[in-house]
Chains A and B, each alone.
Chain A
Amino acid sequence: MATEVDPDGPQHDDAPVTTSKKFRSDRTLVAEAVTINRPSRELYDFWRDTANLAGFMENIASIEPIDEVRSRWTVKAPAGREVSWEAVITNEVPGEQITWQSAEGADVANSGRIEFRDAGARGTVVRAVIAYDPPAGLVGQLIAKLFQREPRIQTRRDLRRFKQLMETGEIATAARTKAQLEKDNG
């Protein structure tokens, strides 16, 4: 017989809180982890240089650094449109983690954390936790289209591309010609 889960009760196991069955579906919180066969400091440094991120994130049109902690993110939208917001790094522990939050007034209020945990001979476990509240109404629909697929899948793919880039020096593609590759990259 299944045990009734108390939505407000404490957690009794060691599983990540993001995998809890108690999560409410009206909140979007995704977490994905990938193990990358490189030292944590190298991965952290690459990620901390905001200009590098657009190279492996699928939906990002551009990320422009504004100052040490602020950057402007522009995301590709349907029909050639773009949506952008400002992200602020709110906490950073060199070699270990970076926490960010969207600045006030962003269309997609979002926040997140990227963690780099040393995994010995296997390299580094990189974990991304991203939270956002999809707004309702027309803007909400646009946002849904922006992210196209489940945010979890999007996050997972971005982490895989990050892994490919850091482990192999390139991002795998099955394209045969330059024209095909450009088309695939939109």
Chain B
Amino acid sequence: MRALTWHGKHDVRVDTVDDPEILNPRDAIIKITATAICGSDLHLYDGYIPTMQKGDILGHEFMGEVVETGSRSTLQRGQKVVVPFTIACGSCYHCGKHQYSACDNGNPAENQDIGRELYGQPMSGLFGYSHLTGGYAGGQAEYVRVPFSDVGPIVIPEHIEDEKVLFLSDILPTGWMAAENAEIEPGDTVAVWGCGPVGLFAVQSAFLLGASRVIAIDHFPRRLELAKRFGAETINFEESKTYEALMEMTGGIGPDAVIDAVGLEAHGFFVDNVIDQIKASTFMGTDRTHSIRQAIVACRKGGRVSMPAVYGGVVDKFPLGAFMEKGLTLKTGQTHVQHYMPALLNAIVEGKIDTTFLISHTLPLEQAPEGYKMFHDNQNEVTKVVLKPDLAVAAQ
């Protein structure tokens, strides 16, 4: 099959590799019909993520058609499914509590050591995101092997277009969970740092969860424009002073809840501190924390901080004093995708949530390297690149 493979910094290629096979009873093989490049894929592209190996297949936002099933899969050939980026078993204690991204068993045993070393406990496996998260092949390919296919993939009604449901795999549930973690009450003002896909979905979700006002903060005009379309007020931090603006806009109170959706392009692991920690087990690395710092300082007393933004290491200059003195609450974590998919699929089918606005470019899988380059070079115009293996055939 053809697949987008990683070869090094700014070097991804479409190669011919062996087709995946059913290896465990709960596996399924999915023929990909649509897959997206995530902001977090850019960090693999930029060479920031350790434990990548040449030839690794990327991609953790994907959907397609079931073509083969293991003996214990509950899927059937021909079904259309969207696959969550987190690999969860459905049987462990954490899955029982719907904390799917904390699944004990999704990550192969030999790949759990690093997570235990870094975080105290290993996390679940992820598709196409380095060997730190399992070393699973991703979905920017013609086919993918999906473990625990009886738990992860959600079956989509045949008549729904791919574009409408593809983002159930990651960014839509992530934006929704960010808003849910903000514990919004009627009348609340919510401020969202970062208008990438997750920030934009968080804006949409915050309104659906009852926020009166949402204030969106970014510096890309096109992205602020999209936030505005959903009813958000905007702050362009290159033009205005964010803290001062927020204070005036909220009558000196500060936002009731703040959402940091900036670091999330990283989806993980800033290389400097991960490598530092692996090498020396010293906790000397520093994540970039500007947005979370500003969010904490701006948040009203007794308010809530939601952090879908991903941080991988330790931080310096974290405003712990402001956090304690103001009595804030922080909720965060990798998304429990499987928990949110069914309700969000319903919201899409009923027309309450639209995700198609995000897609700025659609390319054949064969042109995936071009997609990476343009997403990397122009984040204002290129909001989302969708890859389709079938388009390649049509273009030839």
Please report A residues at the B interface, Cβ cutoff 8 Å: 35, 37, 58, 122-123, 153, 156-158, 160-161, 163-164, 167-179, 181
**Alpha-carbon separation in the docked complex, A19 to B17 (Å):** 47
Q: Is B109 an interface residue (CB 8 A)?
A: yes
Cross-chain contact B147 with A172 (CB below 8 angstroms): yes
Given the interface pairs A174-B134, A174-B135, A176-B18, the reply to whether A168 lies near B93 with Cβ below 8 Å is: no
Cross-chain contact B92 with A160 (CB below 8 angstroms): no
Cross-chain contact A173 with B18 (CB below 8 angstroms): no
Interface readout for B99-111 with A: 1 if CB under 8 Å, 0 if not?
0000011111111
Cross-chain contact B23 with A167 (CB below 8 angstroms): no
Given the interface pairs A170-B26, A174-B134, the reply to whether A161 lies near B109 with Cβ below 8 Å is: yes
Given the interface pairs A169-B25, A176-B145, the reply to whether A37 lies near B93 with Cβ below 8 Å is: yes
**Alpha-carbon separation in the docked complex, A174 to B130 (Å):** 11
Cross-chain contact A123 with B93 (CB below 8 angstroms): yes
Once A and B bind, how many residue pairs between them come within 8 Å at the CB atom?
85
Interface size on B, residues (CB 8 A): 37
Chain B residues whose C-beta falls within 8 Å of the C-beta of A173 in the assembled complex? 23-24, 108, 147
**Alpha-carbon separation in the docked complex, A179 to B136 (Å):** 15
Interface readout for B25-53 with A: 1 if CB under 8 Å, 0 if not?
11000000000000000000000000000
Cross-chain contact B23 with A172 (CB below 8 angstroms): no
Cross-chain contact B110 with A157 (CB below 8 angstroms): yes
Chain A residues whose C-beta falls within 8 Å of the C-beta of B87 in the assembled complex? 172
Q: How far is the CB of A93 from chain B (nearest CB, A)?
A: 25
Q: Which residue on B lies nearest to A167, using beta carbons?
A: B91
**Alpha-carbon separation in the docked complex, A56 to B58 (Å):** 29
Q: Which residue on A lies nearest to B109, using beta carbons?
A: A160
Q: What are 15 A-to-B residue pairs whose CB atoms are below 8 Å?
A: A35-B93, A158-B109, A164-B109, A167-B91, A167-B92, A167-B104, A168-B26, A171-B108, A172-B89, A172-B109, A173-B24, A174-B108, A174-B134, A174-B136, A178-B21
Chain B residues whose C-beta falls within 8 Å of the C-beta of A179 in the assembled complex? 18
Starting from the known contacts A164-B89, A171-B109, A172-B107, 10 additional A-B residue pairs (CB-CB under 8 Å) come to: A153-B113, A164-B105, A167-B92, A167-B104, A172-B147, A173-B147, A174-B136, A176-B21, A177-B21, A177-B23
**Alpha-carbon separation in the docked complex, A176 to B128 (Å):** 12
**Alpha-carbon separation in the docked complex, A135 to B87 (Å):** 42
Interface readout for B205-233 with A: 1 if CB under 8 Å, 0 if not?
00000000000000000000000000000
**Alpha-carbon separation in the docked complex, A170 to B89 (Å):** 10
Chain B residues whose C-beta falls within 8 Å of the C-beta of A161 in the assembled complex? 109
Cross-chain contact B23 with A181 (CB below 8 angstroms): yes
Cross-chain contact A174 with B137 (CB below 8 angstroms): yes
Cross-chain contact A163 with B105 (CB below 8 angstroms): yes
Given the interface pairs A122-B93, A177-B18, A178-B23, the reply to whether A172 lies near B113 with Cβ below 8 Å is: no
Q: How far is the CB of A111 from chain B (nearest CB, A)?
A: 24
**Alpha-carbon separation in the docked complex, A161 to B105 (Å):** 9
**Alpha-carbon separation in the docked complex, A107 to B112 (Å):** 31
| 3 closest A-B pairs by CB | A160-B109, A174-B135, A170-B24
Chain B residues whose C-beta falls within 8 Å of the C-beta of A167 in the assembled complex? 89, 91-92, 104-105
